[in-house]
Structure 1
Amino acid sequence: MSTVKTPNATSSNFTELGLISPLLARLTELKYQQPTPIQAQVIPCVLAGRDLIAGANTGSGKTAAFALPLLQQLSKASNSKSSQGNYVTGLILVPTRELAKQVADSIKSYAVHFNGSIKTVAVFGGVSANTQMLALRGGTDILVATPGRLLDLISSNAIKLDRVTTLVLDEADRMLSFGFTEELSALFALLPKKKQILLFSATFPEQVKALTQELLNDPVEIQLQSSDASTLVQRVFTVNKGQKTALLAHLIKLHQWQQTLIFVNAKKSCNHLAEKLAKRGISAEVFHGDKGQGARNRVLEAFKAGEIQVLIATDIAARGLDIEKLPVVINFDLPRSPSDYMHRIGRSGRAGEVGLALSLIDHEDYHHFKVIEKKNKLRLEREQVAGFEVAEAYNEASFNVDKPMAKPEGSGKKKRKDHEQINADIWLRKD
């Protein structure tokens, strides 16, 4: 396996990466000025036909990293279309409906100057399979799919995988954690033995490593550790049990964030928190698995357009949600999986934009947050907000186990953050 771990090795422009003029023209229109580190390293490898496994922070531009060279390969393939059966040439597997739609929309946007010669279709559950079957008539060059719906369409003879030349596994760790192992095995059995495989994963649990060894052929490994250059600020506020909602409402009103994405762990929690915020004068919409796909799409579009100020979501929004300049993400409930923490907070601070990720923790959350920090190699200062200071007993017994907060001389109380410190400037990274 070839390994590349040089995040600073970037090309100054997309021309140097060997992309063709229709793609370069579109990137200029989209105001893509310089390749991101993952784009600079992945694109040449894909164009060279190499298998690869790539890891990078969410929001790093990985969709363009695989979509641009895939489009270029298809544009040059003289035999990409055939009248024999319902073909697919490039297959992209993703874990969620939202990510499938987002990836397909991005590919269609990049392909504008191919004048319709490259067909892209997205298929996923929650909507009519008949509509998707109609879209697949005559085959497609690029298919973006969730595993379950793809297997359904294959069983209906709507699509065949025996002519796939490139397979992309996007968010591979998430697919495996969602329990797609059996579906993936069934799909791999239908694919041709000779194909290019591109695997993208933000984290690399044992299942992903096993998948890599089993499927990929002498892959290039690209690991980008870009936390030092991250524009995302992570902060942790401690709060007494039962006061999270009050603190959350206080912060939203104080900072007047135009868009706030709040994560909780259950569908019922979404509705319950929305009701409690409404009583405090804050209108919020919810986003979870019980909402139909059409309703989910409408909520997302309204949130992206700034028509919804506060969106409360479960972890189905932790991946595949790409909102330009989303100012803040808040963990009202800590994610059960430490890896989901990184995916949640990655909804903000994307593509070089400054972002803020807040976690609200009470004394019952403390030890789990330490696990999250350990797994993600983090250590974040515990802070307090004036008016919401943690009870003294909890502060010493729970929040400051590692490093008790020193008491100021001449005072029996801990030093507290002044209210004026919690302003716009404090959201910027501390030196």
Structure 2
Amino acid sequence: MDEKLLDSKATFLSLDLDDRLLRALGNMGLVHPTLVQAKAIPLALAGKDILARAKTGSGKTAAYCLPVLHKILQAKDELSVNSEERKRTRSLILVPTRELAEQVSKYIADLSKFCGKDITAVNIATNAALHIQAPLLAESPDVVVSTPAKILKHLVAKSTSLETLETLVIDEADLVLSFGYEEDIRGILAHLPKIYQSMLMSATLNKGVESLKKLILTKPAILRLEDDKEESSSLVQYVVRCTEEDKFLLAYVILKLKLIAGKCILFVNDIDRSYRLKLFLEQFSIRACVLNSELPLNSRYHIVEEFNRGVYDYIIATDESDKMGEGDTKEDEEEEEEEAVEETEAAEEAKGEEDAEEENTKKSKKLKSKTKKRKRGQDKEYGVSRGIDFKGVAAVINFDFPLSARAYTHRVGRTARGGRRGMSLSFVTKEDAKQKTVQANEEPVFERVAVQQRKQGSEILPYKFDMAQVDGFRYRANDAMRSVTKTSIREARIKEIKQEILNSEKLKAHFEDKPRDLQFLRHDKELHPQQIQPHMRHIPQYLVPKIAGVAHADGVATTPEVGFVPFNKDAKRRKGGRRGGNKKSKSGDPLKNLGKKRR
């Protein structure tokens, strides 16, 4: 955790938390609270409603989990061991995605490690059917973690009751609303008691959060602990304008030469695209995990967990936030367009941008209509660009540029977290007559993003590759692309799902019984190993750019016996080499020498 986010003057001991929680915090190596924790925990313990705005990685989860658990322990300490009031559901934590629900549940388990049976928490944001989860809720667990839609189903089915609820927490409140859970939340509120404490945690305070605040909070303490300028200074943002073909070429060069050091997330806009990119990178022995809504929840969670542990360096994540309803609103687009027009001071250019935007929206509608057919097998409560706790991400690559400015913000927020520095690199596709893609022109969305970033005191800088050096890799990239067909993508997609379903079944058993065996489950296996050409695995020495010393450090193509032998050698070297070789071979063959003398 960055020192700027910590309150060095305060300690968790000074917050008057339960000794069992303090012991767990010590076991986790936490001594000083973050700023949001130091401000929010005392207010929560005093029974105040809270609306907290703090950036990602600032410790919001602990800011609400610690007071929730402390209040439960305090209430149970005042009751006798046999009291029936000990079995009550006292807290409900609502999150937008199943992945975030898993992380919150794990964090509560870590905090309640020394609480014995005094804390029981249940995560119902899983794929399990209602009748399977009903017995768990019948035990009246102290804390229920869920998505709004799932808990509402249980309330309607009368599987549980929230009449004894004392604390309601909504994490990532702005995302909960943008995912279309507003009606679900209104339905949940109808089942709650008249008096309870509420906490809303959010990275942004938009109009939706303001309306939720009026609906749920009563005279709340509002904490604004995020400085946009300070956050933007730790994130360096680049953009590359290129063709669709160059996207794959540049991704290959960047990852193979390790031009970006550390862990990296590559975002795409479609599940097919994620497998296309994975199969392409496989040709060069660049292994990456695929993360999308079709994979089972256990597999998705395990992939994130292993990525955080450093098992995998690259994740190809499908950002489906546009399908969840988390796009730019008309008001956002209008505001940003007006500012863009003022800055350009050219009416014709502005008109051209508007026309391009209309064309782009038509194309995005076509994309949505195509993806609707595939939605059946996808998880509606999946989210990857926001909420998931990716740790130690050095860079985010927007392989496909997001479809909204809001999605861009959430994507790049996966790096430069907790005060650390990070980098984002976005590919913006040019108009290309050869490439008939749905996202042929991404400029209108990029312009909105650029305006938004300038408002926050940040700038997206153009990054120019030395294409003279990069072009040497083009024939290899084209060769690899030819083997990535629609049929191979479809087969890879089916194979991956089958493989991960098997992994998911194993994970269910191993999560509790044999946690050490999980390390043997790999999520980055080659999907089509028989199609990989051996010479593509290595970079020949003559192709390695002079500036790419990292490739040498990695041991790639530094030995002459490996790599692809070039066909276009220098004529002088070829002639001299043949003569030298022939002379040596002839001296070893007396019959050939005899024939030469007779001539």
Q: Distance in 2 between matches of 1:359 and 1:32?
A: 36
Rounded to whole Å, the distance in 1 between the matches of 2:162 and 2:94 is: 12
Q: Which of 401, 405, 412 is residue 338 of structure 1 equivalent to?
A: 405
Whole-angstrom CA distance in 1 between matches of 2:153 and 2:289: 32
1:285 aligns with 2:362: no
Superposed CA offset, 1:81-105 (max 9, x none): 9748984211100010000010011
Displacement of 1:312: 1.0
Q: CA deviation at 1:237?
A: 3.1
Q: Does 1:374 align with 2:451?
A: yes
- CA gap of 1:327–1:131, structure 2 versus 1, over 3 A, is farther
Tell whether the 8 Å contact from 1:7 to 1:226 is kept in structure 2 after alignment: no
Distance in 2 separating the partners of 1:97 and 1:304 = 18
Which residue identity is paired with 1:273?
Answer: L
Partner of 2:243: 241
1:371 maps to a residue whose letter is R
Question: Could you tell me which amino acid in structure 1 is paired with residue 427 of structure 2?
Answer: L
Corresponding residue number in structure 2 for 1:251: 254
Residues 226-269 of structure 1 show CA distances to partners (whole Å, capped at 9, x for unaligned) of: 34544842321313112112112211122264532111122222
Work out whether 1:313 is the aligned partner of 2:314: no
- Once residues 39 and 388 of structure 1 are traced to their aligned partners in structure 2, the CA distance between those partners, rounded to angstroms, is 51
Q: 1:180, 1:294 → 2: CA distance?
A: 23
Q: Which has the higher strand share?
A: 1
For 1:225 and 1:422, the matched residues in 2 are separated by 39
| CA distance in 2 between partners of 1:9 and 1:84 (Å) | 37
In 1, Cα distance between the equivalents of 2:37 and 2:28?
Answer: 15
How many residues end up aligned between the 2 structures?
A: 393
Report what 2:28 is aligned to: 30
Match of 1:178 in 2: 179
What is the correspondence of 1:55-94 to structure 2 with a 5 Å cutoff?
55-78=53-76, 83=84, 87-94=88-95
Q: Which piece of structure 1 moves more, 213-222 or 337-346?
A: 337-346
Q: C-alpha displacement at 1:335, in angstroms?
A: 2.4
What is the correspondence of 1:410-421 to structure 2 with a 5 Å cutoff?
A: 420=547
- Structure 2 CA distance for aligned equivalents of residues 340 and 33 of structure 1: 34
1:165 partnered with 2:166 = yes
Check whether the contact 1:59–1:346 (CA below 8 A) recurs between aligned residues. no
Is the contact between residue 263 and residue 392 of structure 2 (CA under 8 Å) also seen in structure 1?
no
| Most deviating of 24-33 and 339-348 | 339-348
Distance 1:235 1:82, change over 3 A: farther
CA spacing shift, 1:101–1:218, aligned 2, 3 Å = same
- Check conservation: 1:55, 1:222, Cα contact below 8 A: yes
CA distance in 2, matches of 1:375, 1:195: 37
Contact persistence 2:242–2:427 (CA under 8 A): no
Residues 388/109 of structure 1: CA separation in 2 closer, same or farther (3 Å cut): farther
Name the CA shift for 1:222/1:151 in 2 (closer, same or farther; >3 Å). Answer: same
Q: Which residue of 1 aligns with 2:370?
A: none
- Larger Rg: 1 or 2? 2
Please state whether the residue corresponding to 2:250 is helix, strand or coil: helix
Report what 2:510 is aligned to: none
For residues 24 and 368 of structure 1, the distance between their equivalents in structure 2, rounded to whole angstroms, comes to 47
Gaps of 5+ in 1: 1-5, 391-417, 425-431
In the alignment, is the contact (CA less than 8 A) between 2:92 and 2:145 conserved in 1? Answer: yes
Give secondary structure in 1 for the equivalent of 2:138.
coil
Q: 1:117 to 1:11 in 2, by over 3 A?
A: same
Q: Does 1:324 align with 2:391?
A: yes
User: Residues of 2 paired with 1:32 and 1:352: CA distance?
Assistant: 16
Contact in 2 for aligned 1:239/1:388 (Cα 8 Å): no
Task: Say whether 1:144 aligns with 2:145.
Answer: yes
In the other structure, the counterpart of 1:386 is: 466
How far residue 301 of structure 1 moved from its aligned partner, in angstroms, is: 3.4
8 Å CA contact 1:264, 1:334 repeated in 2: yes
- The residue identity in structure 2 corresponding to 1:185 is R
Q: Contact (CA 8 Å) 1:125, 1:148: kept in 2 or not?
A: no
Structure 1 match to 2:51: 53
- For 1:427, the equivalent position in structure 2 comes to none
Confirm or deny: 8 A CA contact 2:5 2:419 kept in the other structure. no
SS state at 1:327 partner: strand
Q: Specify the SS of the correspondent of 1:302.
A: helix
Name the TM-score, length of structure 2 as normaliser: 0.60
The question of whether the paired residues in 2 share the 8 Å contact of 1:11 and 1:17 is answered with no
Local SS of the residue matching 2:242:
coil
Residue 218 of structure 1, CA deviation? 0.7
| Structure 2 counterpart of 1:187 | 188
Contact 1:259 / 1:326 at 8 angstroms: preserved in 2?
yes
Shift of 1:197: 0.7
Distance, in Å, in 2 between the alignment partners of 1:283 and 1:8 is 36
Asked if the contact 1:260/1:310 (under 8 Å) is kept, the reply is yes
Question: Are the aligned partners of 1:166 and 1:195 in contact in 2 as well (CA < 8 Å)?
Answer: yes
SS, match of residue 88 in structure 1: coil
Deviation, structure 1 residue 346: 2.4
**1:14·1:34 contact (CA, 8 Å) conserved in 2?**
yes
RMSD: 3.0
- Partner residue in 1 for 2:115: 114
**Alpha-carbon distance change, 168 to 384 in structure 1, aligned in 2, over 3 angstroms:** same
Q: Secondary structure at the match of 2:42?
A: helix
Work out the CA distance in 2 between the residues paired with 1:223 and 1:275: 44
After superposition, give the CA deviation of every residue in 1:316-336 in whole Å (9 maximum; x if it has no partner). 212232133232222212222
The change in CA–CA distance for 1:131 and 1:354 in structure 2 (over 3 A counts) is farther
For residues 10 and 119 of structure 1, do their structure 2 counterparts lie closer, same or farther at Cα, with a shift above 3 Å needed?
A: same
Alignment of 1:217-236 (within 5 A): 217-230=218-231, 232-236=234-238
DSSP 3-state at the match of 2:68: helix
- Cα displacement (A) at 1:194: 0.8
Q: Are residue 294 (structure 1) and residue 361 (structure 2) matched?
A: no
TM-score, normalised with respect to structure 1? 0.82
Amino acid at match of 2:462: R
Q: Equivalents in 1 of 2:549, 2:184: separation in Å?
A: 48
1:18 aligns with 2:16: yes
Letter of the 1:160 counterpart: S
Residue in 1 that maps onto 2:495: none
